[in-house]
Amino acid sequence: MNKYNLFIEKKSYYGLFDHIYLREESIPQAKAPLTPLYSNLRLNSKEAIVEFEGSASFYISNGNEIIYEFIKNKHSFNDYLHSFVTGLTLFQRGHLLLHGNSCLWQDRHLAFCGESGVGKSSIATQFHKAGASFFCDEIICFNKKNSTTLPGYPFLRLWKNDVDFNQFNPSLISKIWDDDEKYQLNTNQQKSDQKCKLDYLFYLEMDETLSSPEIEEVIGVEKVETFWRSYYNRPVMEAMGLIDQFNQQSLDILKKLRVFKLSRPPHSESRLACFELIKSALV
């Protein structure tokens, strides 16, 4: 299988490879000045250059062109997709993105959002084990045209403690990077290929004062602010001038979306209690 056949097979994931010009060559000069945002990212509203130190560089333009250059070809192109490369391409297409993962459970689409390390993947894993269909990981993408969500990659990213806690079949687990204790759980048999609306958003927060998790539905201004806190990489949105567009789209999404805050203690044993609390909220 050559790399281009691989991309064709994966075109359904966020529609990422629909109508895209993809090639491997030297990274070109940007057509307009780029603003440094992070140490490895420079961008303007239509172009971005991402550099993975000592490994690879990517030029993404207009949401329909990706040029990449491998420096040390330790990884495949796909290894880099769970990063700025996908997010920047989708932003350039005008799609609203949240930072989280989601699944389909009993005919409802559930999203788990929050800062890194609050347990989004841990909770999604419990639903996965209970038979939920996987939908997306890391990026929840709302289509700019109709606010349906686009299906993402067919795996969940897990830390080693989640792998050990759930005792998955080793054949379903693989390490993402050699120097990182992050693993991917292959959920290809459970994933969905269809666009769908989002029904529930659960925003996870850590609270060291709690002995057990608590959940509450939020409404009004707090509901809007919770959704906005769930944005994927807000500094990139702001640098690309997308905030006003996304804020307006989010108000339309929120008309039919129920939003909950789930506060949990930091100990890992609370994941099962969180799972039960979320199920009790689905009425």
Q: How confident is the model at residue 73 (pLDDT cuts 50, 70, 90)?
A: low
Cβ(65)–Cβ(31) below 8 Å: no
Q: Write out pLDDT tens, residues 87-104.
A: 999 999 999 999 999 999
CATH domain 96-281 topology: Rossmann fold (3.40.50)
Q: Write out pLDDT tens, residues 133-143.
A: 889 999 999 99
Q: Name the burial class of residue 57, with classes exposed (0-12), middle (13-18) and buried (19+) by CB atoms within 10 angstroms of its CB.
A: middle
Instruction: Please write down the HEC assignment for all residues of 157-211.
Output: EEEHHHHHHHCCCHHHEEECCCCCCEEEEECCCCCCCCCECCCEEEEEEECCCCC
Closest to 140 in 3D by CA, of 235, 224, 227: 227
pLDDT, the chain, mean: 88
For 152, the 3-state DSSP assignment is coil
For 112, the 3-state DSSP assignment is strand
CA distance 3 to 79: 12
Q: How confident is the model at residue 4 (pLDDT cuts 50, 70, 90)?
A: very low
Cα radius of gyration rounded to whole Å, the chain:
19
CA distance 216 to 196: 25
Q: Is the pTM of this model over 0.95?
A: no
Residue extents of the structural domains in the chain: 3-92, 96-281
Q: Write out pLDDT tens, residues 196-255.
A: 999 999 999 999 899 889 999 999 999 999 999 999 999 999 999 999 999 999 999 999
Alpha helices (H) in 35-167, listed in sequence order? 86-92, 120-129, 160-166
Q: How confident is the model at residue 27 (pLDDT cuts 50, 70, 90)?
A: very high
User: Does pLDDT of 1 surpass 70?
Assistant: no
